[in-house]
Structure 1
Amino acid sequence: MATSVNGWPLVPAGSPQLVQLPGVPTGPVALAGPVATLLGYVATEFHARVEAITSTNSHRPGAKIGSTGWYSNHASATAVDLNGGRHPQFRRGTFTGPQVAQIRTILAATKVIDWGGDWDDASVDEMHFEIRPSTTAQQVADAASTLNQEDDMTPTQAAQLTAILDLLTPGVAGVKFDGDIFKRLTRIEDTAVRTRADVATVHDSVLRQK
């Protein structure tokens, strides 16, 4: 069976194995199941945290890499290109430093997605995200499962919660959503308990004065 360079079987045009990535503008498609879960996560978080997606390139049946004869990972529906016009192949530095930091945070959550921005100068492709070569179907499934467990709150939602906590607990403003979340929630709870106690004390005092 023919495979793309990352070892995944080729997917023909119109295959029922293809699904559209939900919530991603321009409707890219990917291999249904864990692959779509992971690439969909990358795309939606990229759209929310890096820059708005205005163009995509995903499944390309039979696509090969230049004149090498090797099948592109687009041919197996295990890769997606985001905003190719802004980030053309063979050009490095098309993202800002903060954008690259966001991309790396997003990729770290997936565990099995590679970014073309990490390739050497001869092949650098900053628009491109793909299932890592030699990653097995089980490893991809495990990564998607872990992502789903950890993704009760996305990085975007975590940032929003941090902003809310900054308002509720100004004494510890700026602490990011991580292990310190429990300290901050405890601080909120303790404050609420003290406030209720203060209200009860005032209430009792008023009643005694009647």
Structure 2
Amino acid sequence: MARGADFSRWNEVDDYEATAGALDFAWVKVSDGISGRNVGPWHVAPLRRAGARTGGYHFARTHRTPEVQAREFVAELERLDALELPGALDLEEAAEHGFRVDTAASRAFARDFGIRFLRVLSECRVRRALYVNEYFATQLRPWEWGVPGLLLWVANYSRRPSVPHTVWQRSKTGRLPGVVGDVDLNESTTDFWRITVAVSQNGYTANDITFTENTLIPGTERKIRLRKGPAGELLRWFAGRFDALVETIDNDGELDDWGYAERPIRGGTELSNHASGTAIDLNAPEHPLGAVGTFTAAQVRTIRSLLDQAQGCIRWGGDYVGRKDEMHFEIVKNEAACEKALAAVGGGGDEDMQADERAALFDIREQMTGSRKPGEYPGWASKANPSKKYTATDFARWADYHAFKAHMKANETLALLAKQAGVTAEDIAKALRAGLVADVLPVLQEVVVDALGADNAGQAEAIADLALAKLGAALTPEEV
């Protein structure tokens, strides 16, 4: 059993060595939402010198933002070197600017305050604890907040709390050697200060699957396990846009898109960002580790556009200085930055487009370009010149260009024939137009159908008619 106490300005200690000898750990009030109110930072150094493991706690108030109060708290922890224990946030009722949990609105406010305060501690790499009484705990349910590594310190002066907790504040009228008067007493069944929280390369807590969820990527049927909260949601948004604009990640059920994985970086000992659910690999076999140039230039431009939209929160493995990893995308900023970027791109929610609508668009794209993958335009081999490939748009341009060339050549030919044969250019044009309809149109239609496929016969006929109209116009003689 680990023995502990907590101190503020109200506690008078006349023998720190005697006090520390009766303790394994001690929290000291080092900051208050009302600046300087009832703090007792002078307790930290003598308790630590006497051998007690020391940490600090902050008494929160409602009238100032949690971010401002958290930064002041961290500054005091660092100034006092009170970092042997997790930094504790104290949420409770008070005469001035205290918290309430008796209504849905007050509970929501307290929960939001707590999460935001603790997020700042996480960003500052300070371990996190929350102090509440048992009633507050049952109302706020902080074990469901999704705060990685959060230690719960719960007060109940009549019995051990029935809610999840690591430290129990069991008395506010305790007695300790060297302390004049009452003091708060705590106990824990573990040496919690020895517990270190695993973190991935980017500083997020790692190797804990409870902070991840198997989430559906927008616009696809693919689910990938990513971190809960802004970081994972931003990756989810990125994967959805990657699928829509770079290349599809729905590859006939092939499981080649990877998220959470408890492992070190390949070739190293530091935990991979996959271990915290803050990295994602997309179409891994097509973009193997170490390979370069696995995306087209157009795809790279789109990837960079998406990275810009993510406001620098996501790094691409294709930009690594050393070994490239073009399948890989990872979070490199804190959750507050990810939340800001997520708001800028629209919150990362599901697309309005239904799956069948999206599939229909990809069908059309394949018919027009020869590929379902964004950024690829392979087309089909030309019957006239098999070394060339044309999309439907390419062919329309080709037909227009050659119709124009035929127009110019026809005018020259008609004028020459009219002079040499003693007939009018209009007579020759009529004869040629009839031959075009009878002989050229069927062949032209067949070529276009071969290019576009039998399912697109109507489209092929329209293209052939357009090309023939251009040729017919070319056979309208100009004055000579």
Shorter chain as denominator, the TM-score bin is 0.5 to 0.7
Q: Aligned partners of 1:131 and 1:97: how far apart in 2?
A: 24
Equivalence for 1:200 = none
Contact 1:116–1:128 (Cα < 8 Å) also in 2: yes
- Summarize the Cα distance change of 1:146–1:119 in structure 2 as closer, same or farther, 3 Å threshold: same
Give the secondary-structure state (helix, strand or coil) at the position aligned to 2:223: coil
Match of 1:80, SS?
A: strand
Q: Aligned-pair distance for 1:51?
A: 0.8
Q: Equivalent pairs: percent with the same residue? A: 34
- Distance in 2 of aligned mates of 1:72 and 1:30: 13
> When the two structures are superposed, what TM-score results if normalisation uses the length of structure 1?
0.65
The one-character-per-residue Cα deviations of 1:90-144 (angstroms, maximum 9, x if unpaired) are: 0110000000001111111111111001112x32100000101xx2221122221
What is the distance in 2 between the residues matched to 1:19 and 1:150? Answer: 15
Contact 2:226 2:259 in 1 (8 A): yes
- Rg comparison, structure with higher value: 2
Q: CA deviation at 1:152?
A: 11
Structure 1 gaps, min length 5: 155-159, 161-210
Residue 52 of structure 1 pairs with residue 52 of structure 2:
no
Contact 1:50 1:103 in 2 (8 A): yes
Contact 1:88-1:127 at 8 Å conserved across structures: yes
Distance 1:90 1:131, change over 3 A: same
Separation in structure 1 between the aligned mates of residue 280 and residue 198 of structure 2, nearest angstrom: 20
2:214–2:223: 8 Å Cα contact kept in structure 1? no
Secondary structure of 2:329 counterpart:
strand
Q: Which amino acid aligns with 1:145?
A: A
Q: Identify the residue that residue 284 of structure 2 maps to in structure 1.
A: 84
1:1-210 residue pairs with structure 2 within 5 A?
Answer: 1-13=197-209, 15=210, 17-23=212-218, 24-53=220-249, 54=251, 55-61=256-262, 63-111=263-311, 112-120=313-321, 122-132=322-332, 135-148=333-346
Measure, in 1, the Cα distance between the counterparts of 2:281 and 2:347: 26
Q: Tell me, in whole angstroms, the C-alpha distance in 2 between the residues paired with 1:2 and 1:29.
A: 19
In the TM superposition, residue 36 of structure 1 has moved relative to its aligned partner by: 2.4
Give unpaired runs (5+ residues) of structure 2: 1-196, 353-360, 362-480
In structure 1, give the amino acid aligned to 2:291.
R
Q: What is the letter of the counterpart of residue 71 of structure 1?
A: L
Two-structure CA RMSD over aligned residues (Å): 2.6
Aligned residue for 1:130, secondary structure, equals strand
Secondary structure of 1:51's aligned partner: coil
Q: CA deviation at 1:19?
A: 3.8
When residues 153 and 81 of structure 1 are mapped into structure 2, their CA distance, relative to the original with a 3 A threshold, is: closer
Whole-angstrom CA distance in 2 between matches of 1:108 and 1:136: 16
Higher relative contact order, structure no. (Cα contacts within 8 Å, ≥ 6 residues apart): 1
2:233 and 2:339 mapped to 1: Cα distance?
9
**TM-score w.r.t. structure 2 length?**
0.29
Give distance in 2, aligned partners of 1:16 and 1:68. Answer: 24
